[in-house]
Structure 1
Amino acid sequence: MAQLAVCGDMHEIDAILFDKDGTLLDFVSMWGFWSECVITAFGTELTVRGLKALDAAAIPSLWGTQHHESGRIIGYDRNGPLAMGTMADLYAVLAWQGYLAGMSWAESRSAAIRCGEGASAMLEIERPARLLAGVKSFLDACRQQGLPIAVVTADETDAALRHLEWLGIRPYFGMIIGTDQVERGKPFGDMAELACSRLGVQPARTAVIGDTNGDMLMGRAAGAALRIALAGGTAAYPDASHIISGYEELRLGG
């Protein structure tokens, strides 16, 4: 058992479940890079078929991204598809654009997946992941307290494992639960419930930390004691029990 101080309030908890992207690692450095690779490649798929390219003005609305005037991704909607969706969700959104442009659904879906896999290969080469400020020291505190911690992510498990290894933090976590391990991903409570079961703790003695309201909804559905939103931008977190701006607002005690 440990005590977690959040916004000045002290809570007894037995475990913490962390979202990955935007919670442990910088979302834009990772998924902004990936998205730019996918969108560029999909534009090429359209062009070589003599079809109309994606409308640059419409690109931010596809997955919920924010762009510099140069086109580079500099932010994201924390409650949008890129932040909350699975790979299958993102591919479906992109495939719809290809279908509207004149591809068959099968052709467009294949192209979207091919572009996504190519972008993931570029991730492997570039490894643009960066830890958020305060993450490492907080994970060290969890280890010192002997507090069980896990990752629950909308990403696939194998990909999540690689990303955590790139960052050098994989050994901190007793469990990594990706969306492929459950029937229903976020915002349902399945991943949190599975993580708690495997850690041997009760959800009602567990804290969830995430950067989207989907994470908060997952925590609520699982019956988590605390639902801590790592806030950013103008995102709303109606299902959070606490909202913080950074890890410096969290303190662990025995």
Structure 2
Amino acid sequence: MPELVTPQGNYDISAILFDKDGTLLDFVSLWGSWSECLLTHFIRQLKLRGLTFPETYLNNLLGTVHNSEGRITGYDRNGPLAMGTMNDLYAILGWQGYLLGLSWAESMELVEACRREADAMLEHSRPVLPLPGLLRFLEECYAQGIALAVVTADDTEAAERHLRWLGIRHYFSAVIGTDQVERGKPFPDMSLLACRQLGVQPSAAAVIGDTNGDMRMAKAAGAAVAVSIAPDAGAAVPGDSSAKALLDHLLPDADAVVQSYEELAFQ
């Protein structure tokens, strides 16, 4: 059985389950673009109805970080955009419309129209970028004969599309979206289903993700190791960019934290 080498220890594994957003592809490039489009249309449509969205709520609404020009430059790893399902996000927006005076039906119709705009923008621009070192690491996994799967809070159809945009769909024997299970992250359902489809025991699988929800899912499933990719570790823990500080602050359930795939290897 191949041995996954991390800065915090080595683990015997025969499979790896990857989160998608923030783990395989750059989170802000894809979901920052989508969220900006979604929120811009939502706020614009509210104004057309004589309603004003309190823009001071923007950072807290979906868990995004905005610069002085309103562009999304970062995200809360433990916030709704990073950890929630698509339906969670739509419900959050729908609630805002309801609070401002729309009926729930009107608000959800508005959210659906804004979603279509944001999805169309993604389909046109396809702003997907692989994380540094990912392609090399996937090739090494292939050379080692390690079974690979994706377990994502996104819907399966969208996940499949994003993997094709990146040109990496062929590496994965299974793609599990939250629509395939009763409970999403941090519950173990997606990991357990992926392991069944790969034909491996959870105790022989590593989970790689970027949020503590991924780590908690790994623990609940009995995975061999929970590894977090945290390229912005220094920004996440002001004044201390050590893996220990990140573990304690944002990823308390991770067994290993790395800033790039260059820190992972096999022996």
**TM-score, normalised on structure 2?**
0.92
Aligned residue in 2 for 1:29: 29
Correspondence for 1:240 among 254, 264, 267: 254
Matches within 5 A, 1:64-83: 64-83=63-82
Partner of 1:200: 199
What SS does the corresponding residue of 1:57 show, helix, strand or coil?
A: helix
Does 1:176 find its partner at 2:175? yes
Q: Name the % identity.
A: 58
Question: 2:205 touches 2:223 (CA, 8 Å); kept in 1?
Answer: yes
The 5-angstrom pairing of residues 32-43 of structure 1 reads 32-43=32-43
Per-residue deviation, 1:219: 0.4
Distance, in Å, in 1 between the alignment partners of 2:112 and 2:216 is 28
Q: Which residue number corresponds to residue 144 of structure 1? A: 143
RMSD: 1.0
**1:114-139 deviation per Cα after TM superposition (whole angstroms, max 9, x unaligned):** 21122011100000010010100000
1:17 aligns to 2:31 (yes or no): no
Partners of 1:213 and 1:251 in 2: how far apart?
22
**3-state SS of paired residue (2:3):** strand
- What's the TM-score once normalised by structure 1's chain length? 0.97
- Structure 1: unaligned runs, 5 residues or longer: none
Q: Deviations over 1:3-47 (max 9, x none)?
A: 100116221101000000000000000000000000011112211
The code of the aligned residue for 1:109 comes to M
Aligned to 1:127: 126
Counterpart amino acid of residue 120 in structure 1? D
C-alpha separation between the residues in 2 aligned to 1:10 and 1:89?
36
Residue aligning to 2:243: none
* Residue 109 of structure 1, CA deviation: 1.3
- Measured against aligned partners, the alpha-carbon deviations of 1:194-240 in whole angstroms (never above 9, x if no partner) come to 00001000001110000000000100110001000112324611111
Structure 1 residue identity aligned to 2:265: R
- How many Å separate the matches in 1 of 2:22 and 2:222? 23
CA distance in 1, matches of 2:101, 2:200: 51
Residue 118 (structure 1) aligns with: 117
2:13, 2:142 → 1: CA distance? 14
Map 1:40-79; keep pairs closer than 5 Å: 40-52=40-52, 54-79=53-78
1:145-174 C-alpha deviation (Å, 9 max, x unpaired): 111010000000000000000000000001
SS in 1 for 2:56: coil
- Distance in 1 separating the partners of 2:177 and 2:8: 32
1:151 alignment partner AA: V
Whole-Å separation in 1 of the counterparts to 2:102 and 2:9: 55
Preserved contact between residue 215 and residue 254 of structure 2 (Cα < 8 Å): yes
- Aligned partners of 2:72, 2:107: CA distance in 1, in Å? 24
The residue type paired with residue 222 of structure 1 is: A
Count of aligned positions? 252
Deviation at 1:112, TM superposition (A): 1.0
Instruction: Report SS of the residue matched to 1:224.
Output: coil
Query: Does the aligned pair in 1 maintain the 2:8–2:255 contact within 8 Å?
Result: no
3-state DSSP class of the match of 1:59?
A: helix
Alignment of structure 1 residues 90-101 onto 2, 5 Å: 90-101=89-100
